Amino acid sequence: MNTKAFWSRVKSQIRIKGITQTDAAKACGVLPDTFRRWMSTGRVPPLSNSYKLSRYLGLSLEYLINGPGMDKVSETNEEVLKLLKTASEKLKKIRRDNPALKDEH
């Protein structure tokens, strides 16, 4: 993971939203000094804090960590899961409606 890019995305969103680092720190559930230390050393916060930060900034955690393009991967995965669920439900209905197929798997 590129920690410099992570913090670049965070700083950019802080500027865009017109919030302070103190506001972001509070949203993460940490002291402002801790947040500033993470930023200055390039340390990515623990997962739970990173998640809270991403929600507060209105970004996905995947975007903060990996940058542009990763949101598309998540959307595609969600679409595939929905299609699989729909297919599974249709298959169950077909098996229910056709007794001869009930024992086949």
**Superfamily of structural domain 1-67:** lambda repressor-like DNA-binding domains (1.10.260.40)
Tell me the pLDDT tens digit for each residue of 41-97: 999 999 999 999 999 999 988 889 888 865 555 666 677 778 888 888 888 888 888
What ranges do the domains of the chain cover? 1-67, 69-105
Q: Cα 19 to chain center, whole Å?
A: 21
User: Does residue 105 surpass a pLDDT of 60?
Assistant: no
pTM to 2 decimal places: 0.63
- State the pLDDT at residue 51: 93
Task: Give me the pLDDT at residue 104, please.
Answer: 55
Classified as helix, coil or strand, 38 is helix
Report the pLDDT value the prediction gives residue 103, as an integer from 0 to 100.
59
Provide the pLDDT for residue 91: 86
